[in-house]
Amino acid sequence: MTIELHIDHLVLDGFDGAAGDPRALSAALRAELARLLASTPAATWRPARATVLRGPEVTVTGPAATGRDLADAVYRAVRDGR
């Protein structure tokens, strides 16, 4: 099975560069999101199309940890169909 997830825009309010290198944050987000998507049986998903998904607050602690936290927020929103 192939899973395709397209994120056209990811808007991060209030970061002011505190997350560090945007490329490192992006790489961490992609890697963690791929891991999470691959680890969940497709039968448990409630897929939906959404134009805007609003996630929970994420604590900025550095690019790797912040990327993982953002991936988790996106994953939960997509998985739950919200």
pLDDT tens digits for the chain (82 residues)? 666 777 777 777 666 665 667 788 889 999 999 999 888 777 776 655 666 666 667 777 888 888 898 888 888 877 765 5
Whole-angstrom Cα distance, residue 50 to residue 60?
A: 26
Residue 31 confidence (pLDDT): 94
- In this structure, what are the phi and psi dihedrals at residue 21, rounded to the nearest 5 degrees? -60, 120
Q: And the tokens for 57?
A: 């607050």
